[in-house]
Amino acid sequence: MVITTLETLVVPSASRLSRWSKGSVRFARHRPLGAAGAVIIILMILMAALAELISPFNPLVTNYSAMLQAPGPVHWLGTDSFGRDVMTRIIYGSRTALWVGFASSFMGAS
C-alpha cells in the first residue's frame, strides 16, 4: 500500500507546469505560426464551451425590427436579414465548425 502526502503531490505538478511552460515558450519561438494557430483554436474552444455565458443574444430568435443593422454598440457585428445578431451566430457556429474539424481529423487519422 502506497501512502502519499500532500507534499509529494504538490511538487511534481509544479515541475510539470514549469516544463510545460518552458516547452510552450520554446514552441512559440521556433514556430510562431503554429503558436498563433494554437491560440486561435484555444480561443475558439473556449468561446464554444462558454457560448451561453458570453453570447449577448439567442442565435435563433428573429427580431424583424433589427434587420440588417450596421455594427454598433448593441450588435457589435451587426444583424442579418432576419434580425439575428451576427456575433452570437458566429460564437454558436464555432461549435459546429470545431466538431466537424476534429471529427474529420480523427477519422482521417485512424
Q: Are 94 and 49 in contact (CB under 8 A)?
A: no
Cα–Cα dist 87/51, whole Å: 11
The pLDDT score that the predictor gives to residue 61 is 94
pLDDT, tens only, 76-87 = 999 999 999 999
Per-residue cell: 88: 452570437
pTM of the model: 0.71
The pLDDT score that the predictor gives to residue 2 is 56
pLDDT, tens only, 41-99 = 999 999 999 999 999 899 999 999 999 999 999 999 999 999 999 999 999 999 999 99
